[in-house]
Structure 1
Amino acid sequence: MTNHPLAGRPAPRSMLIDVPALVSAYYTEEATGKVSFGTSGHRGSSTSGTFNEPLIAAIAQAICEYRLQNGITGPLFLGVDTHALSEPAYRTAVEVLAGNGVQLRLHDRREYTPTPVISFLILEQNRRRQGPPADGIVITPSHNPPEDGGFKYNPPQGGPADVDITAWIQARANAIKDEHPEAIKRLPYRKALQAETTAFMDFITPFVDALDEVVDMDAVRGAGLKIGVDPLGGSGIHYWAPIAERYGLNLDVVNAHTDPTFAFMPLDGDGKIRMDCSSPYAMANLIAMAGRFDIAWGNDPDFDRHGIVCSSGLMNPNHYLSVAIWYLLQNRSRWRKDLAVGKTLVSSSMIDRVVAALGRRLYEVPVGFKWFVSGLLDGSLAFGGEESAGAAFLRRDGSVWVTDKDGFCMTLLAAEIMARTGRSPDEIYRDKLVADHGATFYNRVDTPITEAEKAVLKRLEPGSIDAGHVAGIAVQKVLTRAPGNDAPIGGVKVVLEDGSWFAIRPSGTEPKMKVYIESFGGEALWERIYAEALPLVFSRSR
Structure 2
Amino acid sequence: MSRISFGTGGWRATQDHFTDENVRRVGQGIAAYLTEKQDVIPSENTVAVGYDARATSADAAASLADVFSSAGFDVLLTDRDLPTPVVAHSVVDRDLAGAAMVTASHNPPEYNGVKFIPGDAKSAMPSITDAIESHIEPPDPLPEAQHGTVTRYNPVEIHATHAVGLTDRYLGTDLSDLTVVYDAIHGSGRGITDALLESAGATVIRHRCDRDPTFGGNAPEPGPETLADLPSIIAEHDADLAIANDGDADRITVCTPDRGVLSGNLLFAVIYEALLAEAEVTGPAIRTVSTTFLIDRIASEYGADVHEVPVGFKWIADGMATYNGLFGGEESGGFTIDGHIGTKDGVLVALLAAAAAATEPIDDRLDRLFATYGQIHADKVSVDCPDDRKDAVISGFEAALPDTIADQSVVDTVALDGYKLLLEDGSWILIRPSGTEPKMRVYAETPAGEQLESLLDAGSELVEAQLA
Matched, 1:407 2:353: no
For residue 4 of structure 2, what is the amino acid of its counterpart? V
- Measure the CA separation in 1 of the matches of 2:190 and 2:150: 25
Q: Report the equivalent of 1:324.
A: 271
Q: 1:85 to 1:465 in 2, by over 3 A?
A: farther
Q: For 1:480 and 1:355, how far apart are their aligned partners in 2?
A: 23
Matched with 2:412 is 477
Distance in 2 separating the partners of 1:275 and 1:222:
27
Contact 1:499 1:520 in 2 (8 A): yes
Structure 1 unaligned regions, length at least 5: 1-31, 127-132, 266-272, 395-399, 482-488
Give the drift of 1:243. 2.5
Structure 2 unaligned spans of 5+: none
User: CA offset at residue 379 of structure 1?
Assistant: 7.7
* Counterpart Cα distance in 1 of 2:100 and 2:387: 31
- For 2:154 and 2:396, the matched residues in 1 are separated by 49
Counterpart CA distance in 2 for 1:376 and 1:473 is: 34
Confirm or deny that 1:276 pairs with 2:221.
Answer: yes
Map of 1:201 onto structure 2: 153
Does residue 123 of the first structure (1) align with residue 92 of the second (2)? yes
Cα distance between partner residues in 2 of 1:184 and 1:253 = 46
Q: 1:259-280: per-residue Cα shift (whole Å, max 9, x none)?
A: 11222x6xxxxxxx21111x11
- Return closer, same or farther for 1:541/1:246 CA change in 2, 3 Å cut-off: closer
Q: Secondary structure at the match of 1:517?
A: strand
Change (3 A) 1:438 1:152: same
Q: Is 2:187–2:215's contact at 8 Å kept on the other side of the alignment?
A: no
2:352 is aligned with what amino acid?
Answer: L
Secondary structure of the residue aligned to 1:525 is: helix
**Cα shift at 1:492:** 1.8
Deviations 1:70-103 (A, max 9, x none): 1234322211101123223212211111111112
The count of corresponding residues between Structure 1 and Structure 2 is 460
Task: Please say if residues 10 and 116 of structure 2, whose CA atoms lie closer than 8 Å, have aligned partners that are also in contact.
Answer: yes
1:500 and 2:456 are equivalent in the alignment: no
Question: CA RMSD of the aligned region, Å?
Answer: 2.5
Q: Match of 1:516?
A: 443
**C-alpha offsets along residues 15-73 of structure 1, whole Å, 9 cap, x if unaligned?**
xxxxxxxxxxxxxxxxx5321211111111122x3x22222211110111111111234
Q: Which residue of 2 aligns with 1:22?
A: none
Distance 1:427 1:60, change over 3 A: same
**Cα distance, 1:240 vs. partner?**
4.1
Asked if the contact 1:208–1:242 (Cα under 8 Å) also holds between the matched residues in 2, the reply is no
Q: Structure 1 residues 222 and 85 mapped into 2: Cα distance closer, same or farther (>3 Å)?
A: closer
Aligned to 2:182: 229
SS of match in other structure, 1:37 = coil
Separation (CA, whole Å) in 2 of partners of 1:187 and 1:140: 30
> Aligned partners of 2:321, 2:149: CA distance in 1, in Å?
28
Per-residue deviation, 1:222: 5.3
In structure 2, how many angstroms separate the alpha carbons of the residues matched to 1:329 and 1:77? Answer: 36
Letter in 1 for 2:132: I
Relative to structure 1, the CA distance from residue 376 to residue 136 in structure 2 (aligned partners, 3 Å threshold; closer, same or farther) is farther
| Structure 1 residue 113 displacement after superposition | 1.6
Amino acid at match of 1:221: D
Q: 2:413 is aligned with what amino acid? A: V
Contact 2:252–2:333 (CA under 8 A) maintained in structure 1:
yes
Conserved? CA contact 1:95–1:187, under 8 Å: no
1:287 aligns with 2:240: no
Pair 1:143-2:131 in alignment: no
Deviation at 1:138, TM superposition (A): 1.2
1:438 corresponds to which of 360, 374, 381: 374
- How much does 1:453 deviate? 3.9
Q: 3-state SS of the aligned residue for 2:229?
A: helix
8 Å Cα contact 2:71-2:148 kept in structure 1: no
Q: Partner of 1:57 in structure 2?
A: 24
Question: How much has 1:308 moved relative to structure 2?
Answer: 0.5
Alpha-carbon contact 1:100-1:185 (below 8 Å) kept? yes
Q: Using the alignment, how far apart are the partners of 1:379 and 1:117 within structure 2? A: 25
Cα distance in 1 between the residues matched to 2:142 and 2:390: 38
Change (3 A) 1:261 1:537: closer
Q: What is the distance in 2 between the residues matched to 1:261 and 1:120?
A: 27
Query: How far apart, CA to CA, are the structure 2 residues paired with 1:187 and 1:34?
Result: 29
2:400 matches 1:465: yes
Deviation at 1:115, TM superposition (A): 1.2
* Local SS of the residue matching 1:237: coil
Q: Using structure 1 for the length normalisation, give the TM-score.
A: 0.79
Matched residue type, 1:322: A
CA distance in 1, matches of 2:31, 2:213: 29
Gap change, CA 1:468 and 1:138, over 3 Å in 2? same
1:67 maps to which residue?
34
Identity of aligned residues (%): 28
Q: Displacement, 1:438?
A: 1.6
Q: CA deviation at 1:158?
A: 0.5
Contact 1:315/1:426 (8 A) holds in 2 = no
Deviation at 1:508, TM superposition (A): 1.3
Taking the aligned partners of 2:321 and 2:388, their CA distance within structure 1 comes to 39
Contact 1:96 1:186 in 2 (8 A): no
Out of 43, 46, 57, the position equivalent to 2:15 is 46
> Is 1:99 equivalent to 2:70 in the alignment?
yes
Pairwise mapping of residues 144-293 of structure 1 onto structure 2 (< 5 A)? 144-173=107-136, 176=137, 181=138, 183-185=139-141, 196-216=148-168, 219-221=172-174, 223-240=176-193, 242-243=195-196, 246-263=199-216, 273-277=218-222, 279-291=223-235, 292=237, 293=239
Check the 8 A contact 2:11/2:114 in 1, yes or no: yes
After superposition, the Cα gap between the structure-2 partners of 1:245 and 1:276, relative to the gap in structure 1 and judged at 3 Å, is closer
- Compute the TM-score of the two structures, normalised by the length of structure 2: 0.91
Mark the CA change 1:466 to 1:511 in structure 2 (over 3 Å): closer, same or farther.
closer
Matched, 1:352 2:296: yes
Distance (Å, rounded) in 1 between the aligned partners of 2:323 and 2:293: 24
The residue number in structure 2 matching 1:269 is none
1:289-313 per-position Cα deviation (integer Å, ceiling 9, x unaligned): 0111112211011101111111121
User: What is the aligned partner in structure 2 of residue 88 from structure 1?
Assistant: 59
- Following superposition, the deviation at residue 531 of structure 1 comes to 2.6
Aligned to 1:366: 310
Change (3 A) 1:222 1:99: closer
Distance, in Å, in 2 between the alignment partners of 1:514 and 1:375 is 23
Distance 2:392 2:113 in 1: 28
Q: 2:380 touches 2:444 (CA, 8 Å); kept in 1? A: yes
1:332 CA displacement: 2.7
- Measure the CA separation in 1 of the matches of 2:313 and 2:263: 19
Are 1:388 and 2:325 an aligned pair? no
The one-letter code sitting in structure 2 at the alignment partner of 1:65 is A
Query: Retained in 2: the 8 A contact 1:464–1:540?
Result: no
Counterpart check, 1:303 vs 2:230: no
Whole-Å Cα distance in 2 between the matches of residues 213 and 38 of structure 1? 33
Contact 2:34–2:97 under 8 Å retained in 1: no
| Structure 1 residues 247 and 466, CA gap change in structure 2 (3 angstroms) | closer
Aligned-partner residue type, residue 507 of structure 1: S
Give the letter for the 1:228 counterpart. Answer: V
